[in-house]
């Protein structure tokens, strides 16, 4: 097993203290090389995962997040389940003021899927209108 595979195999989210919990600010993270396996066919699925959040007391460490997202590459999981799992684990660990996770999956069989989950109305939603 190569060192990268070992790191991915031990991947878990690492949470840090927010250096500025007194103010609202947006954190946007894009992970353009997300992969997982189709639970039906076993073929790989490819996506861009976008995470947008307004932290409260905690933030996510980026290298740990990268390894965590890479850990999905050998899992047979649907687009909906993978996006919801990422959302749920970040929501639980960070308890942010707002969070949105978007799974923008590449077309397969001429079908494109975008899964969007967010924690509801707050700062980021009010900016969209």
Is 110 strand, coil or helix?
coil
Buried b vs exposed e over 23-59: b needs ≥16 C-beta within 10 Å? eeeebebebeebbbbeeeeeeebebebbbbbbbeeeb
Question: 106 and 33 in contact (C-beta within 8 Å)?
Answer: no
Catalytic residues: 38, 45
How far is it, in rounded angstroms, from Cα 38 to Cα 92? Answer: 26
The pair of three-digit structure tokens given for residue 43, joined into one six-digit string: 């073929």
Cβ partners under 8 Å of residue 110, min gap 6: none
């Amino acid at each position: 097993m190569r060192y990268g595979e070992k790191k991915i195999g031990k991947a878990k989210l690492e949470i840090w203290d927010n250096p500025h919990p007194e103010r609202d600010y947006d954190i946007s993270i894009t992970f353009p090389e997300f992969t997982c396996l189709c639970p039906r066919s076993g073929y790989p699925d490819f996506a861009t995962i976008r995470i947008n959040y307004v932290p409260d007391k905690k933030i996510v460490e980026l290298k740990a997040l990268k390894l965590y997202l890479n850990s999905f590459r050998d899992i047979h999981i649907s687009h909906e389940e993978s996006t919801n799992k990422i959302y749920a684990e970040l929501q639980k660990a960070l308890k942010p003021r707002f969070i949105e996770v978007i799974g923008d999956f590449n077309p397969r069989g001429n079908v494109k899927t975008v899964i969007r989950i967010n924690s509801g109305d707050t700062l980021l939603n009010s900016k969209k209108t």
